[in-house]
Amino acid sequence: MNSSKAALAAVALAVLLGGALWFGLNRKSPPAVQTQAEPVVPPNAAHEKASLVEQLRKMPGHAPVLLRLAEIATEQGQPAEARGRLEELLMTEPNHLEARLELGRACYELDDLPCAIAETEKVLAQDPKHVDALYNLGAIHANSGDAAKARQYWRKAVQVAPDSASGQKSAAASKQLGDG
């Protein structure tokens, strides 16, 4: 009987140790010590712009830098500067759709409607289903008093991407013009 007691004790010890080992491996770590987060410093556009201009000096014509400089100019209400940056970008990358679309917007902000229309139509020449370009052309024509052309572009935007933000704006604008 001593050997059966010893075997039983060994099995009990193995189960106990196995359970302890399992529990140790599956135990969750204590929560990390919470520290005060560093305060978020708002971006300084002047500093960012200076840094980007320096990068551009080292890498002339660099598309991402030119695009960001154009975005900063737009944010600061400087469409002429944005236009210049975008035109510079498009000299090296003429098929850059985002830059072309933004150039159309900058031209519109500068009241250069022929440029705004031409640049936005170039986006559609590359991508006939570009919903943002369709919406923008509808808005340009609506604001110029050509409701029929505006509706034409907005209908196409709704057909192409009805659930997109530009598709929804197109549907609402078209409805506002009486296109039920």
Q: What is the pLDDT along the chain (180 residues), one digit of tens a residue?
A: 566 665 555 544 445 444 444 444 444 444 444 555 555 545 677 888 888 888 888 888 889 999 999 999 999 999 999 999 999 999 999 999 999 999 999 999 999 999 999 999 999 999 999 999 999 999 999 999 999 999 999 999 999 999 999 999 999 999 998 765
Please tell me the predicted confidence (pLDDT) of residue 30. 45
Q: What is the pTM of this model?
A: 0.72
Non-local CB neighbours of 120 within 8 Å, separated by 6+ positions: 100, 101, 104, 133, 136, 137, 140
Q: Contact at 8 Å (CB) between 52 and 68?
A: yes
Q: Which amino acid is at 52?
A: L
Please tell me the predicted confidence (pLDDT) of residue 14. 47
Please tell me the predicted confidence (pLDDT) of residue 61. 84
How far is residue 19 CA from its own chain's centroid? 51
In order of 20, 36, 79, 97, 137, the CA distances from 104 in angstroms are: 69, 45, 11, 11, 9
Closest CA to 45 of 73, 66, 64, 65: 73
Closest CA to 65 of 96, 33, 111, 34: 96
Please tell me the predicted confidence (pLDDT) of residue 41. 46
**28's tokens:** 């969750």
Parse the chain into domains and list their residue ranges. 45-112, 128-180
In order of 17, 90, 134, 147, the CA distances from 11 in angstroms are: 10, 78, 76, 87
Please tell me the predicted confidence (pLDDT) of residue 177. 84
User: String of b and e for 167-180 (b: at least 16 CB within 10 Å)?
Assistant: bbbbbebbeeeebe
Q: State the chain's mean pLDDT as an integer.
A: 83
For 45-112, CATH gives 1.25.40.10
Please tell me the predicted confidence (pLDDT) of residue 48. 87
Please tell me the predicted confidence (pLDDT) of residue 159. 96
Q: Quickly count helices (H) and strands (E) in the chain.
A: 9, 0
Please tell me the predicted confidence (pLDDT) of residue 4. 61
